[in-house]
């Protein structure tokens, strides 16, 4: 079953179009990774799915979670929906935990809001189980600790425990490993995979790290200037990128086998928020651009192998 | 704590679980860790509050006059702190006066804290126009110095302790509201407030569970220091004759009565003056000490 359907999602802040028509689907138990630079609209997409924007944002299109339309929900429905159907694992676990209350209290609270357990004692028992499940040693003690008593990796595990506490249909993870050490990163990614299997959760992961995307597998969507410029199964997209931007991103990854040599960079910069452009937003930086690219923004074209790309030159430029 | 974390490695939780966490907290607030200035101010306040509570059992009638025995200096037999212009015992009057002083110090701040933090939190949570309107109205009050505002209100309402409390309450609401507003604005952009929203917290839950507990500590520190200010202002209003009516012993009123004898018996006017200074400084030091202790916990 399709857990999350995002169709032609557009998010505007006044004149600034942060997300410009993004569409994708994530099935239960499967993973979709959104890859892109800062300002490409990844985080705005996730926040739009949860409707976490302030009043100044205008969100259109459709977001459907387990068959329910999210964008038409009332505030009351939203409170019941957030944390229960869709849960968010934030980028910085340190800031996301209330410094004044114990980890257990914050877990128990979410469990009881959504009526998973009604009694305090049962909720606390479930909290302890969850902490054990996300790999926190001595969970019975950890339940009573304050956030400052835990390490960064442990705090992120707590955030994940909170996120999966109500067995959500969709788990959104906004750069969940950015604030962590590389060794801890791998463990957290593994934990996501385990939890997905256990709770049948769909995972939408956001990252700017090609390595993280490769590790998670599933499907990959590459975002640029508020659009998905390329999407498809992660392995094939990374092995054989069809969009010049994806190619460029892969070239930017340092190769540990090459002792020396300059890293390749993508020349130029992404368009600024609200900047107007005709044609393909990547054209100014694209090594393969022609006059045709500057004339009109390329539509998204389906490719064999369940892939799609928004480049008029594709796939000729690679050949 | 650092040692345990290092020894156990990043994957093991530091050895501060439920039990250890509690002792850790208790440690932070235990008197043993208090700096000397905080201890002294706490001792002064305990003394004053104690005196206020058991005043009638402690000393004789503060209103008993004996004109034959007037204006005795400090150390007079039977009157350790001397006697005033009407021969009333200074010690008895000082001890009895602690009640009015504490009420005039605590009550306005307490009421203003409830009202002011309510206004401030609402302003901080409301966006845009509502916020501006509330804060601009408070700015009008800011245009007057707090003492002047209090004097004006007290003068308009007429003399009496109730009116002094009312006047000081009104004077303290704007600064408290501003602190609450600033803290709320800061909190609203904290990740954990949004994380709670993302976990399904309703607006009211966020106010009760996230905003209030996190706004409370800085507000508490500010208000503790404000009690000292309130005591000085109340004594000032009383000095001007806007507070309690004459026979009742009140420190500000006592200074006012004794100032005519400042050339012959300067120490008598100094007694209530020093007492006001001491109590107000004690509250300030307590506020500052609480702030420092609180910073360690964060």
- Residue A220 in any domain: the answer is yes
Q: Does residue B91 register a pLDDT over 50?
A: yes
Q: Does residue A186 register a pLDDT over 80?
A: yes
Strands (E), chain A: 2-13, 16-27, 31-35, 57-65, 68-69, 86-89, 170-174, 202-207, 219-224, 227-233, 301-303, 307-309
Mean pLDDT of A261-288: 79
More confident residue, A286 or A86: A86
Residue span of the structural domain in which B142 resides: 34-53+80-297
Q: Which of A130, A134, A141, A159 best probes binding to B when mutated, by most B CB atoms within 10 angstroms?
A: A141
pLDDT tens-digit map of B29-75: 667 777 888 888 888 889 888 888 887 777 777 777 777 777 777 77
Q: Does residue B3 register a pLDDT over 50?
A: no
Instruction: Find chain A residues with C-beta within 8 A of B21's C-beta.
Output: 102, 144-146, 149
- Residue B63 in any domain: the answer is no
Structure letter (DSSP) for residue A263:
P
Q: Which of A44, A76, A91, A98 best probes binding to B when mutated, by most B CB atoms within 10 angstroms?
A: A98
Question: C-alpha distances in angstroms, A120 versus A12, A105, A127, B264?
Answer: 42, 10, 10, 71
- Residue A204 in any domain: the answer is yes
On whether both A8 and A50 belong to a single domain, the answer is yes
On whether both A124 and A176 belong to a single domain, the answer is no
Residue span of the structural domain in which A225 resides: 2-85+168-318
- Residue B58 in any domain: the answer is no
Using the beta-carbon criterion (under 8 Å), do B210 and A98 form an inter-chain contact?
yes
pLDDT recorded at residue B2: 38
Q: Does residue A103 register a pLDDT over 50?
A: yes
A190 in reach of chain B (CB within 8 A): no
Give the DSSP letter string of A153-202: HHHHHHHHHHHHTT--SEEEEESTTTTS-HHHHHHHHHHHHHHHHHHT-E
Using the beta-carbon criterion (under 8 Å), do B14 and A149 form an inter-chain contact?
yes
- CATH number for B216: 1.10.3720.10
Using the beta-carbon criterion (under 8 Å), do B13 and A99 form an inter-chain contact?
no
| Domain end among A164, A187, A206 | A164
pLDDT tens-digit map of B210-264: 888 888 888 988 998 899 899 999 888 888 888 777 777 888 888 888 888 888 8
Residue B75, class by beta-carbon neighbours within 10 Å (0-12 exposed, 13-18 middle, 19+ buried)? Answer: exposed
Residues in Cβ contact with A89 at an 8 Å cutoff, skipping those fewer than 6 apart: A156, A159, A160, A163, A171, A172, A173, A174, A176
Q: Does residue B296 register a pLDDT over 60?
A: no
Residues in Cβ contact with A276 at an 8 Å cutoff, skipping those fewer than 6 apart: none
B6 in reach of chain A (CB within 8 A): no
Size of interface A-B (CB pairs under 8 A): 120
On whether both A16 and A61 belong to a single domain, the answer is yes
ipTM, two decimals, is 0.77
Contact indicator for A244, A287 with CB cutoff of 8 Å: yes
User: Who among A95, A110, A145 is closest to B13 (CB)?
Assistant: A145
For chain B, how many structural domains are there in total? 1
- Residue A90 in any domain: the answer is no
- Residue A181 in any domain: the answer is yes
Contact indicator for A116, A126 with CB cutoff of 8 Å: yes
| Domain end among A164, A192, A225 | A164
pLDDT tens-digit map of B147-198: 888 888 888 988 888 888 999 999 999 999 999 999 998 888 788 888 888 8
B5 in reach of chain A (CB within 8 A): yes
On whether both A269 and A301 belong to a single domain, the answer is yes
pLDDT recorded at residue B28: 56
Q: What is the pTM of this model?
A: 0.75
Half-sphere exposure of residue A25, counting CA atoms within 13 Å on the CB side? 10
pLDDT recorded at residue A314: 62
For chain A, how many structural domains are there in total? 2
pLDDT tens-digit map of B271-295: 889 999 999 999 999 888 888 876 6
């Amino acid at each position: 079953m399709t857990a999350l359907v995002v169709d032609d999602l557009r998010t505007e802040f006044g004149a600034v179009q942060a997300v410009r028509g993004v569409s994708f689907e994530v099935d239960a138990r499967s993973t979709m990774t959104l890859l892109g630079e800062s300002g490409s609209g990844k985080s705005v997409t996730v926040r739009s799915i949860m409707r976490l924007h302030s009043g100044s944002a205008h969100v259109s299109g459709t977001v459907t979670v387990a068959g329910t339309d999210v964008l038409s929900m009332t505030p009351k429905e939203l409170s019941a929906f957030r944390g229960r159907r869709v849960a968010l694992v934030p980028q910085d676990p340190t800031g996301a935990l209330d410094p004044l209350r114990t980890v257990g209290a914050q877990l128990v609270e979410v469990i009881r809001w959504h009526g998973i357990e009604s009694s305090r004692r049962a909720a606390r028992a479930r909290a302890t189980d969850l902490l054990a499940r996300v790999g926190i040693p001595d969970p019975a003690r950890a339940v009573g600790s304050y956030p400052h008593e835990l390490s960064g990796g442990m705090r992120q595990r707590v955030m994940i425990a909170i996120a999966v506490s109500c067995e959500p249909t969709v788990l959104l993870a906004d750069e969940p490993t950015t604030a962590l050490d590389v060794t801890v990163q791998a463990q957290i990614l593994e934990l996501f995979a385990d939890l997905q299997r256990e709770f049948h959760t769909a995972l939408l992961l956001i990252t700017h790290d090609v390595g993280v995307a490769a590790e998670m597998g599933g499907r990959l969507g590459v975002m640029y200037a508020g659009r998905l410029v390329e999407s498809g199964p992660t392995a094939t997209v990374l092995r054989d990128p069809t969009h010049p931007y994806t190619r460029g991103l892969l070239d930017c990854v340092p190769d540990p086998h090459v002792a020396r040599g300059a890293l390749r960079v993508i020349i130029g910069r992404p368009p600024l928020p609200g900047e107007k452009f005709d044609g393909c937003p990547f054209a100014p930086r694209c090594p393969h651009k022609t006059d045709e690219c500057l004339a009109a923004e390329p539509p998204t074209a389906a490719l064999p192998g369940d892939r799609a790309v928004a480049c008029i030159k594709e796939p000729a430029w690679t050949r | 704590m650092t040692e345990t974390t290092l020894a156990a490695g990043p994957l093991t939780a530091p050895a501060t679980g439920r039990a250890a966490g509690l002792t850790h907290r208790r440690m932070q607030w235990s008197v043993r860790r208090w700096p000397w200035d905080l201890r002294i101010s706490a001792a002064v306040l305990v003394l004053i509050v104690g005196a206020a509570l058991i005043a009638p059992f402690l000393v004789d009638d503060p209103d008993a006059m004996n004109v034959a025995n007037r204006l005795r200096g400090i150390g007079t037999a039977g009157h350790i702190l001397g006697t005033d212009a009407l021969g009333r015992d200074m010690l008895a009057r000082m001890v009895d006066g602690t009640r009015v002083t504490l009420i005039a110090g605590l009550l306005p701040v307490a009421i203003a804290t409830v009202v002011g933090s309510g206004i401030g939190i609402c302003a901080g949570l409301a966006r845009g126009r509502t916020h501006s309107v509330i804060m601009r109205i408070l700015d009008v009050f800011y245009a007057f110095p707090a003492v002047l505002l209090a004097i004006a209100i007290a003068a308009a309402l007429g003399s009496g302790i109730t009116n002094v409390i009312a006047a000081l309450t009104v004077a303290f609401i704007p600064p408290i509201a501003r602190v609450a507003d600033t803290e709320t604005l800061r909190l609203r952009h904290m990740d954990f407030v949004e994380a709670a929203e993302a976990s399904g917290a309703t607006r009211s839950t966020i106010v009760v569970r996230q905003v209030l507990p996190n706004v409370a500590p800085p507000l508490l520190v500010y208000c503790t220091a404000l009690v000292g200010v309130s005591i000085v202002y109340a004594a000032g209003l009383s000095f001007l004759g806007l507070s309690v009516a004459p026979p009742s012993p009140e420190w500000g009123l006592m200074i006012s009565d004794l100032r005519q004898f400042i050339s012959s018996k300067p120490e008598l006017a100094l007694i209530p003056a020093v007492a006001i200074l001491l109590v107000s400084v004690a509250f300030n030091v307590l506020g500052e000490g609480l702030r420092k202790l609180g910073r360690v916990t964060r």
